[in-house]
Amino acid sequence: MIQYKRSSELFDQANKYIPGGVNSPVRAFKSVGGTPVFIESAKGSILKDVDNNEYIDYIASWGPMILGHAHKPVIDAIKEKAEKSTSFGAPTELEIDIAKLATEMVGSIDKIRMVNSGTEACMSAIRLARGYTGRDKIIKFEGCYHGHADSFLIKAGSGASTFGQPNSPGVTKSVAQDTLTAKYNDLESVKNLVQSNPNEIACIIVEPVAGNMGCVIPKKGFLEGLRELCTKENIVLIFDEVMTGFRLARGGAQEVFGIEADLACYGKVIGAGMPVGAYAGKDEIMNHISPVGPVYQAGTLSGNPLAMIAGYTLLKELNEKPEIYTELANKTEYLHNGLEKAFSDSGFDYRINRFGSMISAFFTNQDVVDFDSAATANNKYFPQFFHNMLKRGIYLPASSFESYFLANSLTTDHLDKTINACKESLVEMKNI
């Protein structure tokens, strides 16, 4: 029987000093109940908590640990670089190295600007799009998450063409009025917004494969339609590749789908687990950023040497070993097939979505193609499933609205144990 004595004690202490006891809300286990697990260490695809319990990890730090935790080349590179200081606040040659490598891997970008998080990257990208176009409004999609900047914390109104309303206290109505929300995978809802706001839309920002309503895959023609519309209407198309960048392929979703965005945002894999984000695009747009152009963006720790060497080391290995992506996709397919059989035998309504090394299971009888269909999932079942898997040593996202991320350090044995844990968990749920 797994015990969480030390985790419980630490959570009690954390609540005294940290709002909600955590530094990012999903870690609080609010949607699944129970006490958050406090992690002590990790290696490969195995997490160890403060109570000495071990788990097979399907979060991979929400994506960046694509080759597993404590990957030796990355750790060695960080150690060596740390001896020379952790930050300079001045340019380094390493920043050129990672920028050159990233632009080579993603053939559609000319220049890249490093920042400190995916939120900062997306926030900076829409500011750049507004500065470049001279327009104020943006279009985002319900269920897509682009960080916690004000412009992104807007939910849809009563209709596709209505202005958004703030979804968080502290976000002003004036910000919300410049944010329009469309339905993911619904090209007509986007066209309606563009037609209702002629020559006012600066950009459309989208997760090419959504990961924050579970893994949701773009329908054929959806991304292509966005590209065509943006080209026709002189709107900047932004791919939020914080999750998909360097994970789905060396060139990310743009390579996989054969679609060039005008700007792309990065995080996760590009920093190998360090706090890194980036936004990138063609010279024509990127040259509007200060100090070359008038659009201001800065950061004391942007291009931090420890973050840069971690990201560079990981990207270099991914670039030199493209077979990693095939291996990851094959492992994810193997897991999908096993979960499919377990769910099918269980009698529960379910859908499983998979793309590359991202996968999600939903307790629903509807195909999950957008936020509304993702929300049909039975929220009574997921917490039971999560905790049944956790006590069997499987660490899943503590929310039904998050994608699982696989690392290439997962073995067939890990996958088989996960599939068996799923079978046992579903049987236990059925017998309640």
Q: What CATH number did the domain enclosing 362 receive?
A: 3.90.1150.10
How confident is the model at residue 164, as a pLDDT? 47
User: Are both 261 and 362 inside the same structural domain?
Assistant: no
307-329 mean pLDDT: 98
Alpha carbon distance 194, 284 (integer Å): 23
Inform me whether the pLDDT recorded for 193 exceeds 60. yes
- What value does the mean pLDDT take over residues 308-326? 98
- Domain end call among 294, 320, 346: 320
Tell me the average pLDDT of the chain.
Answer: 94
pLDDT of residue 156: 35
If asked whether residues 81 and 63 sit together in one domain, one would say no
pLDDT score of 331 more than 70: yes
* CATH classification of the domain holding 77: 3.40.640.10
Residues 27 and 235: beta-carbon distance below 8 Å: no
Burial of 11-40, coded b for 16+ CB within 10 Å and e otherwise, reads: beebeeeeeebbeeebebbebbebbbbbbe
Beta bridge partners of 354: 359
Together in a domain, 340 and 257:
no
State mean pLDDT over 304-328: 98
Same domain, 155 and 283: yes
Cis bond upstream, residue 397 (ω within 30) = no
Q: Give the containing element (helix H, strand E) for 15.
A: helix 5-17
- pLDDT value at residue 165: 54
Regarding whether 275 and 380 lie in a shared domain, the answer is: no
Active site amino acids = 145, 240, 268
Query: Which of 295, 320, 345 represents a domain boundary (last residue)?
Result: 320
Q: Which long-range contacts (CB under 8 A, 24 or more apart) does 426-430 make?
A: 426/342, 426/343, 426/345, 426/346, 426/348, 426/385, 427/346, 428/388, 429/346, 429/348, 429/381, 429/384, 429/385, 429/388, 430/346, 430/347, 430/348
Indicate whether 425 pLDDT > 80.
yes
The reply to whether 215 and 109 lie within a common domain is: yes
What are the tens digits of pLDDT across the range 240-251? 999 999 999 999
Number of domain units in the chain: 2
Whether residues 241 and 179 fall in one domain: yes
Between 30 and 39, the higher pLDDT residue: 39
Is the pLDDT score of 214 beyond 90?
yes
Same domain, 343 and 407: yes
101 shares its domain with 231: yes
Model pLDDT, residue 1: 66
Lowest mean pLDDT among 152-161, 274-283, 394-403: 152-161
Shared domain for 66 and 175, answered yes or no, is no
Residue 95's CB is within 10 A of a number of other CB atoms, namely 17
Classified as helix, coil or strand, 256 is helix
Last residue of a domain, one of 320, 342, 360: 320
Non-local (6+) Cβ contacts of 280 within 8 A are 102, 103, 106, 109, 110, 111, 112, 113, 263, 264, 266, 286
pLDDT tens column, 98-117: 999 999 999 999 999 999 99
Residue span of the structural domain in which 346 resides: 5-70+322-430
Q: Are residues 309 and 332 in the same domain?
A: no
Same domain, 282 and 379: no
Indicate the SS3 state at residue 70: coil
- For the cut 50, the answer to whether the pLDDT of residue 183 exceeds it is yes
